[in-house]
Amino acid sequence: MAIYNLLDSIISIISVSIYAYATSIQTYSLQQKAAGNERLAKQYLRSGSIFTIGVMFILCTLAYIFRDPIMHWIVEDSAVIGAASGMMLIAFMPIFPMVFTQICSIC
């Protein structure tokens, strides 16, 4: 159970940027849509999704490279950290579909 809590903590920290980018992209897109610029609104959603995927890829890569120091900040148990390190890539998989569900919820 501690392994899943540790991985959930790391994923939650990384996922905060999804919500921040999604909110700003939706705001810009809805402003353009209200002004009658449908094409520009869709362009904001598309470019925002691509940018957010890039940011998430960079954050996940950095979290994977520096996984041991990051996990030591959260928990001190070496057995939990060792077990969670092997499952970290699998835990990152649900992050990327979250981008599209957050950003494209207004489509």
What is the pLDDT at residue 104?
A: 66
Q: What angle do CA 97, 37, 15 make, to 5 degrees?
A: 20
How long, in residues, is the chain? Answer: 107
Residue-level pLDDT at 65: 92
Q: What is the pTM of this model?
A: 0.77
Cβ neighbors of 93 (< 8 A, separation 6 or more) are none
Q: Is the pLDDT of residue 102 over 80?
A: no
Q: In total, how many domains does the chain have?
A: 1
Query: CB under 8 Å to 21, separation ≥6 — which residues?
Result: 48, 51, 52, 55, 103
Looking at residue 107, what is its pLDDT? 56
pLDDT in tens, 12-55: 888 888 888 888 888 888 899 899 888 998 888 888 888 888 88
- pLDDT of 68-95, one tens digit each? 898 889 888 888 888 888 888 888 888 8
Query: Which residue range is the domain that position 43 belongs to?
Result: 2-106
